[in-house]
């Protein structure tokens, strides 16, 4: 199966300048393509991952990827529908460029005949004069067409837009032109919200080089409930393990809505068509098994964080529910797991002579039960656990010696309901 056929069955083509011409170019030999990532934060996120993996598919099909980090465009900011961006300092942007560059390098092959190249648009923009940019690039752009862009039109109808953000399209188009000249790049990919910027670059190359190049976008991802993909109640799902732990990352996929599974498999999985179809069928027929969600969690945690971190995330999940060693979990993994569950804090002042509040009180605070009487019934019925050890006395007080890593207690009611108690420091 060629790359265009694969993207079609995966429903990953939203727009293309000329799909037939692009398919012919891809079939004729190796094509150089690029996708850009602006350093608007210290890490890439799941929305970026969809684009990264699209480019990875092209490389696996024999084509050469350029992974562009926007050291220049990141200083400007692509216009948002909601309002003007806060500009970050040059020092911060350059620091983020380094972090994002390192993240991108995990996903591509840098050896062989189609070795990837990571590029930074700051390299060809930093010495460019304003006069040269306006004369050589700006003269090819129609303000009327730029005003038609959805984000620009929305901003003009609301609070207006700065010239800085309005000019972003010129900078992105200039990137495509430079990559065409330097590397023979003839395809730019991105999310469908980038269609206007990408096709502006196509048009710039046509005007300046009298050459025909290509554009292809993928659909924007949203959840079945209408919310933004890659967002949870606790915030964005980042690719940096310091911002989103491997356990949280694993759980995000494991808890995906059944209604989203087909789209997520098509977008993110590298399993073949038959395997994907089988996982979708399993979700429809036996949703309680969560086969597709687990397959996604395993494959993508392996890809982003590595097999060892994935195994640790799985071990943490098992340990929380009495099937593993809680004491052996690293603090970061344990804390991430419990913050995903219900949890409550005990202030140091509440700890007296090493004794924490009584277990029935802690069960109520954690949200596992509604009242102390309900907690006592749970204990009497043998369904209350602390650190996977059954509690037998209703008035038992855990001690600081029971704290895992000197900070956490894991409470469990029955087999499925887990919560955490955190004591941030001893008195």
Q: Domain end: 279, 298, 324, which one?
A: 324
The last residue of a domain, from among 218, 244, 273: 218
In terms of domains, do 214 and 235 share one?
A: no
Domain assignment of residue 318, yes or no: yes
**pTM summary value:** 0.86
**Span of 123-137, 284-298, 317-331 with lowest mean pLDDT:** 317-331
Query: Would residue 329 count as lying in a domain?
Result: no
| Domain membership flag for residue 332 | no
d(CA 378, CA 380): 6
Between these two residues, 325 and 232, which has the higher pLDDT value? 325
Identify whether residues 80 and 188 lie together within a single domain: yes
Q: Which two tokens stand for residue 277?
A: 């179809």
Whether 231 and 253 share a structural domain: yes
The H or E element that residue 189 is part of is: strand 187-191
Question: Looking at the DSSP assignment, which residues form a beta bridge with residue 419?
Answer: 342, 411
pLDDT digits (tens, 9 = 90+) for 401-420: 999 999 999 999 998 788 99
pLDDT bracket for residue 425 (50, 70, 90): low
Per the CB < 8 A criterion, the answer to whether 31 and 63 are in contact is yes
Are both 71 and 191 inside the same structural domain? yes
CA dist 274 and 99 (Å) reads: 37
Of 289, 324, 359, which closes a domain? Answer: 324
The total number of structural domains in the chain stands at 3
The pLDDT of residue 338 is above 80: yes
178 pLDDT tier (thresholds 50, 70, 90): very high
| pLDDT on residue 9 | 97
Residue 333: inside a domain, yes or no? no
Q: How far apart are the first and last CA of the chain?
A: 64
Dihedral sign, CA of 222, 228, 229, 233? negative
Q: 334 lies in a domain? A: no
pLDDT at site 160? 87
pLDDT reading at 348 higher than 70: yes
Q: In this predicted model, what pLDDT tens digit does every residue of 116-129 receive, in sequence order?
A: 999 999 999 999 99
Whether residues 302 and 388 fall in one domain: no
The predicted structure's pLDDT at residue 323: 81
User: Which of 34-43, 64-73, 97-106, 216-225 shows the lowest mean pLDDT across its residues?
Assistant: 216-225
Q: What is the domain range of residue 297?
A: 221-324
Asked if pLDDT for residue 85 goes beyond 50, the answer is yes
* 55 and 164 fall within a common domain: yes
179 and 62 in a common domain: yes
* CATH number of the CATH domain containing 176: 3.40.50.620
Does 424 have pLDDT greater than 80?
A: no
* Distance, CA of 425 to CA of 346 (rounded, Å): 9
Residues 272 and 241 in one domain: yes
| Residue bearing tokens 């009180």 | 361
200 and 91, same structural domain? yes
Residue 197 lies in a domain: yes
CATH of residue 234: 1.10.240.10
Q: Are residues 258 and 305 in the same domain?
A: yes
CATH number of domain containing 394: 3.10.290.10
In a domain, 113, yes or no: yes
**Tokens (6 digits) for 279:** 């996982």
- Domain contains 10: yes
Q: Say yes or no: 96 and 134 in one domain.
A: yes
My answer on whether 8 and 134 are in the same domain is yes
């Amino acid at each position: 199966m060629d790359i265009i056929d694969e993207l079609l069955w995966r429903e990953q083509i939203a727009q293309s300048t000329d799909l037939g011409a692009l398919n012919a170019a891809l079939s004729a030999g190796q094509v150089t393509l690029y996708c850009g990532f602006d350093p608007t934060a210290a890490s890439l996120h799941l929305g970026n991952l969809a684009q990264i993996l699209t480019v990875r598919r092209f490389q696996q099909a024999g084509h050469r990827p350029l992974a562009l980090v926007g050291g220049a465009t990141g200083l400007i900011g692509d216009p948002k529908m909601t309002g003007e961006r806060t500009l970050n300092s040059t020092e911060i942007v350059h620091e983020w460029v380094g972090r994002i560059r390192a993240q991108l390098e995990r996903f591509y092959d840098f050896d062989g005949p189609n070795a990837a190249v990571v590029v930074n648009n700051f390299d060809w923009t930093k010495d460019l004069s304003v006069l040269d940019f306006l004369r050589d690039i700006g003269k090819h752009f129609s303000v009327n067409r730029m005003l038609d862009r959805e984000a620009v039109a929305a901003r003009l109808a609301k609070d207006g837009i700065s010239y800085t953000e309005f000019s972003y399209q010129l900078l992105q188009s200039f990137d495509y032109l430079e990559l065409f000249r330097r590397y023979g790049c003839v395809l730019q990919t991105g999310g469908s919200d980038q269609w206007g910027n990408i096709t502006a670059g196509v048009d710039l190359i046509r005007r300046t080089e009298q050459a025909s190049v290509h554009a292809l976008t993928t659909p924007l991802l949203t959840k079945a409930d209408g919310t933004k993909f890659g967002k949870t109640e606790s915030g964005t799902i980042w690719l940096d393990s310091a911002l989103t732990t491997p356990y949280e990352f694993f759980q995000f996929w494991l808890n995906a809505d059944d209604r989203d599974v087909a789209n997520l498999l098509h977008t993110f999985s590298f399993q073949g068509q038959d395997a994907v179809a089988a996982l979708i069928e399993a979700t429809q027929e036996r949703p309680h098994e969560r086969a597709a969600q687990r397959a996604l969690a395993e494959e993508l945690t392996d890809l982003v964080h590595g097999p060892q971190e994935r195994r640790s995330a799985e071990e943490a999940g098992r340990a929380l529910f009495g099937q593993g060693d809680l004491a052996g979990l690293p603090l970061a993994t344990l804390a991430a797991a419990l913050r995903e569950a219900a949890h409550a804090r005990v202030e140091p002042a509440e700890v007296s002579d090493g004794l924490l509040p009584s277990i029935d009180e802690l069960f109520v605070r954690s949200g596992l039960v509604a009242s102390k009487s309900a907690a006592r019934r749970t204990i009497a019925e043998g369904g209350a656990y602390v650190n996977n050890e059954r509690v037998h006395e209703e008035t038992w007080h855990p001690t600081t010696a029971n704290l895992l890593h000197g900070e956490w207690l894991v409470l469990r009611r029955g087999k499925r309901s887990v919560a955490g108690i955190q004591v941030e420091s001893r008195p």
